[in-house]
Amino acid sequence: MKRARRAWVLLMVLAVVQAIGVMPAGADGMPGTPSPHSSPTSHPSPTSHPSPTRKTIGIKLLDAPESQRADPRAQAYLVDHVAPGSTIERQVEVSNESSTSMHVTVYAAAAGIADGKFTFAPDHTPNELTGWTSLDKTDLDLAASASAQVRTTIRVPKDASAGERYGVIWAQTGDPGDRTHNLTILGRVGIRMYVDVGPGGAPPSDFTIERFYPAKTRDGRKEVRARVHNTGSRALDITGTLSLADGPGGLHAGPFPVKTGTTVAPGDVAEAVVPLDAQLPNGPWNAELTLRSGLVERTTRATITFPTTPGGAGAVTASAADPGHLPTPMTAVIATLVLATVCVLLRRSRRRHR
């Protein structure tokens, strides 16, 4: 009987270890970022706005730090960590993608992160990072379908404080007003800059998926929303995919891409959204959501059911294959209750055998 009680108590202790061990942890990886050779018109950086004459420009980054060659995010954006007093150089290519010649101006301007978005300051607005940035060419006359390279140099002062700065390298063109058009129409495309300053190696990038849930918009479209908490020291650009399995009638759907445009500053929380078709059955579905930024990847799973009415609450049940999807406070409560039960049983067992 004593062995049986000890074995039962041991099982309860193992249950506690399991409950605590399923809390989310961290990992690395990220396909799905913009290709460094993709057209800037589909780039999640600023998009071009062609004039009525269809003059279109493009811009792309040609190189990346040796230490970040495996990071697809660093292939699309200027992402680097430098020590105070350092100088870095990058080459960008500006292209005329129209059938007529055009004049293009190239410059650096301020940017920031607010409400889960990478925000662009108007015109030539400066900031600390743009004050460190110089370009070897600022005016380009490009023939039809021609391109030119521009060297970007960032000189960080020796007394620069630690932290990440944001900006954009812009290529801009415009049509001046004439007798029939009294407005000047400008179009510009850009490459984001994420430059972190500090001693030693690059600070870590990390995030957790605090929760994800199904929703229905006012116009009836379905979507899955995920709450992302940036627990690292660098900004994140969230991409990823959602896969649905074992739906009504055994249906499988996806993978569906995460909507681009979610950028999360260090310490902040933002929502990533997966848009879905209104005709998708409500479920239940076994959902697997994978989010990425740079070389950081997180995956979570749950059984979800979409709401029947717009704005209604969908159902989320932790998957048996992924109990870590339980909210952290609930996991802590379960662990506490189990520990209390184990303590009571141990005390009773000792009293009976005195």
Angle ∠(28,32,34) on CA atoms, nearest 5 = 115
pLDDT value of residue 102: 92
pLDDT value of residue 121: 95
Q: Which domain holds residue 341?
A: 322-354
What would the two tokens of residue 59 be?
Answer: 């811009």
Q: Are residues 48 and 175 in the same domain?
A: yes
Please say which residue of 197, 220, 239 terminates a domain. 197
Number of domains in the chain: 3
Q: Are residues 191 and 232 in the same domain?
A: no
CATH number of the domain enclosing 170: 2.60.40.10
Distances (CA, A) of 304 to 16, 47, 66, 229, 248: 26, 35, 42, 21, 12
Q: Are residues 170 and 208 in the same domain?
A: no
State pLDDT tens for residues 69-117: 788 899 899 999 999 999 999 999 999 998 999 999 999 999 999 999 9
Residue 251 CB coordination number (10 Å)? 13
Q: Are residues 173 and 235 in the same domain?
A: no
Q: Are residues 185 and 274 in the same domain?
A: no
Angle ∠(206,215,323) on CA atoms, nearest 5 = 50
**Under a CB-based contact definition with an 8 Å cutoff, are residues 170 and 39 in contact?**
no
**What distance in Å separates the CA atoms of residue 269 and residue 290, rounded to the nearest whole number?**
17
Q: Is residue 23 part of a domain?
A: no
- Across 52-56, 247-251, 264-268, least confident range: 52-56
How long a stretch of residues is the chain? 354
Q: Is 292 exposed, middle or buried (0-12, 13-18, 19+ CB in 10 A)?
A: buried
Q: Is residue 314 part of a domain?
A: yes
Q: Are residues 88 and 212 in the same domain?
A: no
DSSP string spanning 133-199?
EEES-SEEEE-TT-EEEEEEEEE--TTPPSEEEEEEEEEEEEEPP-SS--S-EEEEEEEEEEEEE-S
Q: Are residues 168 and 229 in the same domain?
A: no
Q: Is residue 9 part of a domain?
A: no
CATH number of the domain enclosing 254: 2.60.40
State pLDDT tens for residues 278-332: 899 999 999 999 999 999 999 999 999 999 888 877 888 865 434 334 343 444 4
Q: Is residue 304 part of a domain?
A: yes
Please say which residue of 178, 197, 216 terminates a domain. 197
How far, rounded to the nearest angstrom, does the alpha carbon of residue 227 sit from its chain's CA centroid?
Answer: 11
Q: Is residue 209 part of a domain?
A: yes
Q: Is residue 165 part of a domain?
A: yes
Q: Is residue 189 part of a domain?
A: yes
Q: Are residues 188 and 66 in the same domain?
A: yes
pLDDT value of residue 5: 42
Q: Is residue 34 part of a domain?
A: no
Please say which residue of 173, 197, 221 terminates a domain. 197
**What distance in Å separates the CA atoms of residue 285 and residue 223, rounded to the nearest whole number?**
13
What would the two tokens of residue 104 be?
Answer: 């293009």
Q: Are residues 208 and 338 in the same domain?
A: no
**Under a CB-based contact definition with an 8 Å cutoff, are residues 129 and 153 in contact?**
no
Q: Are residues 112 and 161 in the same domain?
A: yes
Determine phi and psi for 258, rounding to 5 degrees.
-70, 135
Q: Are residues 57 and 183 in the same domain?
A: yes
Start-end of H helices in the chain = 2-21, 72-76, 128-132, 328-352
State pLDDT tens for residues 333-352: 444 454 455 455 556 555 55
Q: Are residues 90 and 70 in the same domain?
A: yes
Check residue 109 and give left, alpha or beta (phi > 0: left; psi -120 to 50: alpha): beta
